[in-house]
Amino acid sequence: MARAGDAHRRELIADYFGASSRLRTLRHTDAFGAAIFVVDFDRGPRHYRTLGSFGPNFGGAAPGEPQVTEQSSMDLLYPAQLVFHYERLMSLAFALCEQPVSSLLLGVGGAAMWRFLRAYLPECAPILVDNDEAVVAIARRWFYLSQSVIIDTAERFLAGTKDRYDVILVDLYNAQGPALFDERFWRRCMDALAPGGCIATNWADFAVNQAVRPMADAQQMLAQSRGLDTYFVTRRGFRDNLVQYLPTGPEREPEAITGALERFARARHLPDRGRGILEHCIIAPRFPIGS
């Protein structure tokens, strides 16, 4: 159903993605707390489909104006390839685990990681959790998702599971930004990790969103209290997304990620041999800003 402000939202989408972009659907969801949309657009020879939302404006040009936020994206010609750089960084959690046969994807969005896994790690069985039925319906209709999804909050799901996963990816965002977690959440994530497994967490807008650092620090302190540690990777100069890794296998030090990527790219035949994933990145043992 159309809502007040939809005409304005359509304009913002056209401004952001270009006048030749094609809006496929625009709807409101209560769980997400905002309008979400699917838009197709072209960048030179590439054709993309993006799941977007309207989120808080972290220092954008027009304060108070809802800001278009990209939640997930798909290359229409190569749907299994990860479009966002941060998703490629997150996929390295699979490289940091010796034999990933199970994974827990917290936050389904446009199912980019699910498509990647199906194509590049077909032996790894993912469990999908998302608290927004409307987002999941969009993933089915527009992003080729054909697997069942547990509709629940990540917090509740983890509180109720006794299963263990080799890889856990935490990518939980709604209209207000990141879902807010306390130490208990990280404890449950770590308890749900199989021996030698790896957790990767996406921190969007990490340089400007004040809520991020305390959560990242809480995860790191908890890891340290268990004799483990986390480290961080972000693209130099971009300050958009930061990925926090918590590996528990034999290669835990930050330097190991480069070799892990090389082996992973070779073994899995990653596009462009994984080039560009760690290029121009900062690999830091601590949260990379304001220490």
Ligand X SMILES: C[S@@+](CC[C@H](N)C(=O)[O-])C[C@H]1O[C@@H](n2cnc3c(N)ncnc32)[C@H](O)[C@@H]1O
CB of 93 to ligand X, least distance (A): 12
Type of residue at 111: A
Torsion of CA 108, 137, 18, 278, to 10 degrees: 10
DSSP 3-state of 273:
helix
Question: Which residue number, 130 or 229, has a Cβ lying nearer to ligand X?
Answer: 130
Quick one: DSSP state of residue 172?
-
Site string for ligand X, 55-84 (x = CB under 6 A): ----------------xx------------
Residue 246 pairs with which residues in a beta bridge? 199
CB of 164 to ligand X, least distance (A): 19
Question: Which residue number, 107 or 247, has a Cβ lying nearer to ligand X?
Answer: 107
The reply to whether 131 sits near ligand X by the rule CB under 6 A is yes
Question: Which residue number, 172 or 207, has a Cβ lying nearer to ligand X?
Answer: 172
The reply to whether 265 sits near ligand X by the rule CB under 6 A is no
CB of 109 to ligand X, least distance (A): 3
**Of these, 32, 86, 94, 264, which contacts ligand X (CB under 6 A)?**
32
Residue nearest to ligand X (CB): 109
Question: Which residue number, 168 or 256, has a Cβ lying nearer to ligand X?
Answer: 168
**Of these, 93, 135, 193, 256, which contacts ligand X (CB under 6 A)?**
135
CB of 146 to ligand X, least distance (A): 15
Q: Which two tokens stand for residue 275?
A: 């080039």
CB contact at 8 A, 18 and 12 = no
CB contact at 8 A, 220 and 230 = yes
Residue 95 pairs with which residues in a beta bridge? none
The reply to whether 206 sits near ligand X by the rule CB under 6 A is no
CB of 227 to ligand X, least distance (A): 28
- What's the rounded Cα separation, in Å, for the pair 69 and 16? 10
Site string for ligand X, 104-123 (x = CB under 6 A): ---xxxxxxx----------
DSSP 3-state of 191:
helix
CB of 179 to ligand X, least distance (A): 4
CB of 180 to ligand X, least distance (A): 9
Question: Which residue number, 155 or 229, has a Cβ lying nearer to ligand X?
Answer: 155
Nearest to 143 by CA among 102, 194, 83, 195: 83
- What's the rounded Cα separation, in Å, for the pair 20 and 40? 9
The residue count for binding ligand X (CB under 6 A) is: 24
Q: Where are the beta strands (DSSP E) in the chain?
A: 22-29, 34-43, 46-55, 67-75, 102-106, 125-130, 150-151, 165-170, 173-174, 177-178, 193-204, 231-235, 241-247, 281-284
- Range 139-178, binding ligand X (CB under 6 A): 153-155, 171-174
Residues 6+ apart with CB under 8 A from 244: 200, 201, 203, 216, 219, 220, 230, 231, 232
CB of 64 to ligand X, least distance (A): 23
* Residues at the site binding ligand X, with contacts judged by CB under 6 A: 32, 71-72, 87, 107-113, 129-132, 135, 153-155, 171-174, 179
